[in-house]
């Protein structure tokens, strides 16, 4: 985002990439997210897989677009020269979600901490405003079935567990929600928002932390960098221990441990 606390005159706008390139990346990301949805939510018929891909694509891209446009709108409101979002498409074989998100380039200084706070916080707030109802609807559409012996289990959080309780209600022992494409897209939206809110570097949380604490943001960022790895290991171990106690072994145990890392 450049120098977040600069207070001089706004720099002259530099000629950036042509606007058609933004739309090209956006269209390509629509395709790769659709491909991820069809690949990971296959049906017996091609039409069913195609529809699952569309549902997943529309849900995930809706969250990401709202997130990025939240930043863009606040940047324009605070008279900061900003580009349209550059979405990052990734083939589904390389990344199961079909994208690595998006970035917006800031071409000028953000003149005050209040403006920095608005620009940094607007994206996660706008994304969450869409992600929460997407998760609720997706979970409502998701069947509750016996836990498979092998497969991927999504990670949880206090918010996600609360949304699951609202949408599904109590889940019997030995059963769990088998995620609908919309629910999976919403879960990814929550994960992306959580990662972006970490008070590290150029993440959204880093900008908010700088707006709140100024130069102390550097110390906070270094602390989180050091602590995240150890926290991830502890979460994986705790998830694996719980899965072991539930009788899971082999691939199912490994999947549960990896879910703990999320």
Residue 81 near residue 110, CB atoms below 8 Å:
no
Distance CA 6, CA 27 (A): 35
Continuous segment of H or E residues that includes residue 176: strand 175-177
**What tokens were used for 53?**
């891909």
User: Which pLDDT band holds residue 112 (cuts at 50, 70, 90)?
Assistant: confident
**What tokens were used for 37?**
């949805």
Residues 6 or more apart whose Cβ sits within 8 Å of residue 35? 53, 91, 92, 98
Residue 160 near residue 188, CB atoms below 8 Å:
no
User: Once rounded to an integer, what is the mean pLDDT over residues 228-232?
Assistant: 75
The end-to-end CA distance of the chain, in Å, is 26
Cβ burial, residue 234 (10 Å; 0-12/13-18/19+): exposed
**Nearest Cα to Cα of residue 88 among 28, 20, 2:** 28
Crossing angle for the helix pair 158-168 and 113-141, nearest 10 degrees?
Answer: 40
pLDDT on residue 1: 43
Give the CA count within 13 Å in the CB-facing half-sphere of 34.
Answer: 12
> DSSP 3-state assignment of 3?
coil
Strand-pair partners of 89: 99
24-50 per-position pLDDT tens digit: 999 999 999 999 999 989 888 899 999
pLDDT on residue 231: 76
Continuous segment of H or E residues that includes residue 145: strand 144-146
pLDDT on residue 25: 96
**Percentages of the chain per state (helix, strand, coil), in multiples of 5:** 60, 5, 30
Q: How many residues does the chain have?
A: 262
The more confidently predicted of residues 225 and 61 is: 61
Distance CA 122, CA 71 (A): 5
User: Once rounded to an integer, what is the mean pLDDT over residues 153-170?
Assistant: 89
User: Once rounded to an integer, what is the mean pLDDT over residues 8-31?
Assistant: 76
60-81 per-position pLDDT tens digit: 999 999 999 999 999 999 888 8
User: Which pLDDT band holds residue 2 (cuts at 50, 70, 90)?
Assistant: very low
Distance CA 38, CA 207 (A): 36
User: Once rounded to an integer, what is the mean pLDDT over residues 87-102?
Assistant: 89
pLDDT on residue 15: 56
Distance CA 145, CA 142 (A): 9
């Amino acid at each position: 985002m450049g120098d977040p606390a600069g207070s001089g005159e706004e720099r002259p706008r530099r000629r950036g990439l042509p606007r058609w390139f933004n739309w090209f990346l956006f269209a390509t990301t629509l395709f790769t997210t659709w491909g991820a949805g069809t690949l990971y939510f296959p049906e017996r018929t091609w039409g069913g897989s195609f529809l699952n891909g569309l549902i997943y694509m529309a849900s995930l891209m809706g969250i990401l677009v709202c997130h990025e446009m939240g930043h863009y709108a606040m940047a324009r409101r605070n008279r900061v020269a900003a580009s349209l979002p550059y979405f990052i498409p990734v083939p589904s074989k390389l990344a199961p979600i079909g994208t690595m998100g998006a970035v917006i380039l800031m071409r000028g200084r953000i003149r005050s901490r209040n403006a920095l706070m608005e620009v940094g916080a607007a994206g996660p707030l706008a994304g969450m405003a869409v992600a929460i109802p997407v998760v609720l609807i997706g979970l409502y559409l998701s069947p509750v079935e016996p836990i498979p012996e092998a497969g991927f289990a999504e990670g949880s959080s206090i918010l996600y567990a609360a949304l699951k309780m609202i949408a599904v209600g109590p889940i019997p022992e030995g059963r769990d929600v088998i995620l609908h494409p919309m629910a999976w897209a919403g879960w990814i939206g929550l994960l992306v928002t959580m990662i972006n809110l970490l008070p590290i570097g150029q993440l959204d949380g880093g900008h908010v932390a700088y707006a709140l604490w100024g130069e102390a943001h550097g110390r906070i960022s270094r602390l989180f960098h050091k602590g995240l790895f150890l926290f991830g290991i502890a979460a994986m171990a705790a998830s694996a221990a719980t899965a072991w106690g539930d009788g899971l072994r082999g691939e199912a145990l490994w999947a549960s441990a990896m879910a703990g890392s999320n």
